[in-house]
Structure 1
Amino acid sequence: MRSQQDRSSDSVLQRADSLLGAFGPRHRNLTLSAIVIRTGLPKSTAHRTAKQMMELGWLVYENGQYSLGSRLFELAGHSSIRYELREAALPYMEDLYESTHGGVHLAVHKDLDVLYVEKIRGHDAITDLSQVGGRMPMYCTGLGKVLLAYAPGEVLEAVIDKGLVGRTQATITSPVRLRREVQTVRAYGVAYDREEATIGVSCVAAPIYGSNREVVAAVSISGRARTNRLDRLAPAVTAAALGISRKLAGAGAGAGPRRV
């Protein structure tokens, strides 16, 4: 039987995780009131937890607002994603950027979302809409469609059950269409986002395989829809994904990021 101290420790960690989850690409600085709203925690609990996290360097407090502390950045640098996937992918991402000057993204599957692991900013500021550490829905992004195509079938059904919210007029909101789209991605080994996540932005993505021949991530290139020639970019993205896959395979049986 678990002790009261064990349960209390779980509760503290859960509150800390809830506070960390309140921050994001569009919420880098939060007041205490904003944290309360975004976490649902009582104000006194949120304040006490935030104070403890400040003492650990997880949060900083300036001008009436909290933000993530440098300690988290230090810890993130030791993650398997950084040392295995990111280090293998970065040279190929740089080559892809040099040949296209578009925004290059590296992502993995996290829960029912796409989690951005690395990014090289394109010449066009429109690619600033995504952020490393940020998330996007799987069903409306090129990266997400790739990851859905090679994930277990229950993942796709869970995404559908959660709801296919239309982010733009081009977003696929029909379960039948999404299932068909995923089948197409699996057949051709490449996925497209035609202004489905953000108006004016299109992208093409391809799967990255680990040493066990399972898809562990995806890489994409994005830019303005009116100038992006997705058919011409697809071979370059596919070549980059193949290079990263070979790099991971050459790293040995343990290559590829662990589940996050």
Structure 2
Amino acid sequence: MNGRPEGSGGGGGAAGDAPRRRGRKPAAGSPVIDRAFALLGAFDSGHRALTPAELAQRAGVPRSSALRLALSLVRVGALERREDGSFVVGLRLLETASLAPRGHGLRAVAMPYLDDLVHVTHQHALLAVRDEAEALLVERLSAREASPVRYRVGGRVPLTHTGVGLVLLAFAPPALQDRLIASYVPGPGQDDIRTAADLRRRLAEVRRTGFARGRLTTPWPLSTVAAPVRDGTGVLAALSVVAPSDSFPTADYAAAVRATARAVSRALRADAEGAPATG
């Protein structure tokens, strides 16, 4: 797991919020669509409603342009404006996002199996996809008795610092693997992947065994196991279990996670073919 706690925000490894990429200041003379996406990227779990001034500042867009673009986004339903003048994300984005094969479509297929995994382990189950050099959490289910974690749906975690991330990185393009291995720096509390060579060996282990294991010591000891979810073309996602390290039966959880990942993979292929999933 390596980096932020997988149980501290999402699954399989760390969670919470990775350094924010969305809403970066657009380059001078950037197209209107880039500026519009910069406005949408200004929102996050800690900034769900933004005044025009806050929106402009966080997006790096001049206030007059930000307001004009925001009102255009309101007209198409991507943003909504409250009576106090602040902006919030609009329902049109939820409607559109529900069509994403790697988002809500994947989630809809995986949910019954994740629910079974939580029932068996009494812990947290996470589902994530790769978005460039990060893992994006698309679902988290938690047992009532599971210990607190920081992972949240929509949160991003490093590929090198989480169980789900390690799985996604192990099956990512070689060029991305080489780049992240070359720039690898262990996060605080990582006690099992300390060097770039360790990371390279761990990724090879994931490909050989079919699952990733991870451990984090801060802010509290957490462990994880994660496995790949495949569609007809390759590894589409990763799912994991996260739990306190002092009560983590790695072999049992690895077997449960791998079985769940295989079941989701079969369901995805059956869904794509329009046939009922079996087994």
In 2, the alpha carbon distance for the partners of 1:156 and 1:237 equals 24
Is 1:16 the counterpart of 2:36? The answer is yes
* Distance apart, 1:169 and its partner CA: 4.4
- Aligned counterpart, 1:100: 121
- Tell me the TM-score normalized by structure 1: 0.82
SS at structure 2 position matched to 1:211: coil
Distance in 1, Cα, partners of 2:46 & 2:274:
35
Matched, 1:25 2:42: no
Contact kept? 2:99, 2:105, Cα under 8 Å: no
Partner of 2:165: 144
**C-alpha deviation, 1:14, in angstroms:** 0.8
Q: Confirm whether residue 153 of structure 1 aligns to residue 153 of structure 2.
A: no
Q: Shift of the alpha carbon at 1:112?
A: 0.5
Instruction: Specify which of 32, 52, 57 is matched with residue 77 of structure 2.
Output: 57
Contact preservation (8 Å) 1:142, 1:191: yes
Deviation of 1:66 after TM superposition, in Å, equals: 2.8
- Residue 139 (structure 2) aligned to one of 118, 138, 150: 118
Q: Structure 1 CA distance, aligned partners of 2:55 and 2:186?
A: 25
Alignment partner of 1:235 is 2:259: no
Q: Is the 8 A contact 1:165 1:173 kept in 2?
A: yes
Q: 1:42 to 1:172 in 2, by over 3 A?
A: farther
- The reply to whether residue 186 of structure 1 matches residue 207 of structure 2 is yes
Structure 2: gaps (5+ residues): 1-29
The equivalent residue for 1:75 is 96
Contact 2:147 2:243 in 1 (8 A): no
2:106 corresponds to which of 85, 89, 107: 85
- Larger RCO (CA within 8 A; separation ≥ 6): 2
Is the contact between residue 202 and residue 228 of structure 1 (CA under 8 Å) also seen in structure 2? Answer: yes
CA distance in 1: counterparts of 2:128 and 2:257, whole angstroms: 14
SS at match of 1:78: coil
Query: Per-residue CA shift, 1:92-135, capped at 9, x if unaligned?
Result: 111101111211111111110001122213323623x2222221
Computed over aligned residues only, the root mean square deviation of the Cα atoms, in angstroms, reads: 2.6
Whose helix proportion is higher, 1 or 2? 1
SS at match of 2:172: coil
In structure 1, list runs of 5 or more residues that go unmatched.
1-9, 256-260
Deviations 1:216-257 (A, max 9, x none): 1111111233333333211100100011112223334699xx
Contact 1:205-1:220 at 8 Å conserved across structures:
yes
Letter in 2 for 1:18: A
Q: Distance in 2 between matches of 1:32 and 1:192?
A: 44
